[in-house]
Amino acid sequence: MSRFAREDINAISPYIPGEQPRDRKYIKLNTNENPYELSSGAVNAISKRFLADLRRYSDPECTELHRAIADYYGLDSQNVLATNGSDEALAFAFYAYCRDGVCYADVTYGFYDVIANLFGCKAEHIPLKSDFTIDGRDYFNKGKTIVIANPNAQTGVALDGGIIREIIEKNSENIVILDQAYADFGNFNAIPLIKQYKNLVVVNTFSKSRSLAGARVGYVIADSELISDLKKVKNSFHPYNVNAISQALAVAAIRDKEYFENTVKKVKEVREKLAGGLKALGYIVLPSSANFILAESPNICGRDLYIKLKQKGVLVRHLSDERIENFVRITVGSEEENEKFLKILTEIEEDEMR
C-alpha cells in the first residue's frame, strides 16, 4: 500500500476472479461461461456505422436495453436498471440497502463479502445445512437485508418458489436481494414476483445464459421505487455504466429468444450427462440447477484434482472455502468438451487407483 492511500484500504481483501489464462488453450470449465457463442443476431448488431458512432457517449439511460428487458419479462422500463455486469448491480444494491446489516449463506458467491467489507456493511453468514442446501426458515424475520443466490453460487443447489415467497413475506420490512445469475438454467425465476413484492430486488446477468460474459451486462429488476434508489447510486458513481457496444449486443441477445432457449436446453442436457459421468466414477455430485456442478472425487482432494486436470489441459475451479475444499466446481461445457473432460478425468482416477 502506498503512503498516499487511505488507511482502510489495508483492510480490504479484493475478489480474486477465476483464471482467464492466455498461456495455452484449455478446456475451460472454471468460470461458468456459456460454451455456446453469441447468437449471430447479436454479432450483426455491431455494424461499421455503429462503430463510427462510438465517438458519442453511450445512452446513460440505456433506453433501448431497458425496454428490451422489460418487454421480455412483460414489465415496464421503470422496473429495470442495466449495469456493468451483475457485480455492479450487487454493488449498487449493497450500497443502497445493506449498510445496517446484511445476511447470506456461509457458502455462496465470494463477492458478497468483498462488497460488504468495502462498504462497511455488517454481514452475518448463515450456515448451509450439512447437505449444502439452504434452510429457508433460517431467513425468516431477520430484521436486516437478505441476499440469496438462487441457484446458489458454488453449490448450484436451488430453493423452490414456495420458500422464496415465504422468505420475502416474512421480511416485509426489509429488502430481499435474489441473485439470479444462474436462474435460467433452473426451474424457477422470481422476476414476476416483483409486481407483488415491493421489497424484492432481483439481480440478473447476460454473462451466463446469454453468452455475454465479456460484454459485462447485468441488470436489476424491482419495483420502480427501488429502481429509482439504485439509479441514484448509479448516477453518483458511473452514469455511463454500460458502454454502447454492450448495450447493442444485449438488446439483440435478449430479442433472440429462440437461440437463448436452444442453448440453455443444450446446457441442461449436457449437465445431466456430466452428472451421470461423475456419479459413474464414484463422485459425490450436488444436484445442480445451474450451469456448473460441484463434485467431490472419491480418491483425490479438490486442490490436487484441480492441479492434475490443469496439467492435462482442463481448467476447473477449486474454491478454498473450508466446507467445500474437497470439491471442484466444473462448468458445464459443450457436448464435445464434456466427453473430453470425462475421458481425462477417468484417466486421472484410474492412475490414482494404480
Q: Report angle CA 84, 86, 87 to the nearest 5 degrees.
A: 85
CB of 118 to ligand PMP, least distance (A): 15
Binders in 5-44 for ligand PMP, by CB under 6 A: none
Between 259 and 292, name the residue whose CB sits nearer to ligand PMP. 292
Between 58 and 246, name the residue whose CB sits nearer to ligand PMP. 246
CA 161 and chain centroid, separation: 19
Give yes or no for residue 205 binding ligand PMP (CB under 6 A): yes
Between 87 and 229, name the residue whose CB sits nearer to ligand PMP. 87
Binding residue for ligand PMP (CB under 6 A) from 35, 156, 186, 218? 218
Q: What is the DSSP string of 164-221?
A: HHHHHHTTTTS-EEEE-TTGGGSS---GGGGGT-TTEEEEEESSSTTS-GGG--EEEE
Is residue 35 classed exposed, middle or buried when 0-12, 13-18 and 19+ CB atoms within 10 A define those classes? buried
Q: How many residues bind ligand PMP (CB under 6 A)?
A: 12
Question: For residues 331 and 30, is the Cβ–Cβ distance under 8 A?
Answer: yes
Give yes or no for residue 149 binding ligand PMP (CB under 6 A): yes
CB of 209 to ligand PMP, least distance (A): 11
What is the spatial distance between Cα 63 and Cα 186, in angstroms, rounded to a whole number? 29
Stretch that binds ligand PMP, among 140-148, 205-213, 244-252, 281-289 (CB under 6 A): 205-213
Binders in 65-94 for ligand PMP, by CB under 6 A: 85-87
Give yes or no for residue 190 binding ligand PMP (CB under 6 A): no
What is the spatial distance between Cα 17 and Cα 121, in angstroms, rounded to a whole number? 22
CB of 208 to ligand PMP, least distance (A): 7
Is residue 71 classed exposed, middle or buried when 0-12, 13-18 and 19+ CB atoms within 10 A define those classes? middle
Helix ranges (H only) for the chain are 40-44, 48-52, 63-73, 85-97, 111-118, 161-169, 224-237, 244-255, 257-280, 302-311, 335-353
Between 167 and 178, name the residue whose CB sits nearer to ligand PMP. 178
Between 32 and 77, name the residue whose CB sits nearer to ligand PMP. 32
CB of 279 to ligand PMP, least distance (A): 24
CB of 281 to ligand PMP, least distance (A): 26
Binding residue for ligand PMP (CB under 6 A) from 45, 121, 134, 153? 153
| Closest residue by beta carbon to ligand PMP | 85
Binders in 102-131 for ligand PMP, by CB under 6 A: 109
Residue 63, C-alpha cell as written in the block = 433506453
Give yes or no for residue 238 binding ligand PMP (CB under 6 A): no
CB of 203 to ligand PMP, least distance (A): 7
Residue 194, C-alpha cell as written in the block = 416483483
Sheet of strand 102-105, all strands in order from the earlier edge strand to the far edge: 80-83, 218-222, 200-205, 176-179, 145-149, 102-105, 123-126
Binding residue for ligand PMP (CB under 6 A) from 39, 199, 207, 289? 207
CB of 353 to ligand PMP, least distance (A): 34
Sign of CA pseudo-dihedral 256, 257, 261, 264: positive
Q: How many residues does the chain have?
A: 354
CB of 7 to ligand PMP, least distance (A): 29
Q: What is the DSSP letter of 140?
A: T
Question: For residues 164 and 141, is the Cβ–Cβ distance under 8 A?
Answer: no
Q: Give residues in contact with ligand PMP (CB under 6 A).
A: 85-87, 109, 149, 153, 179, 181, 205, 207, 213, 218
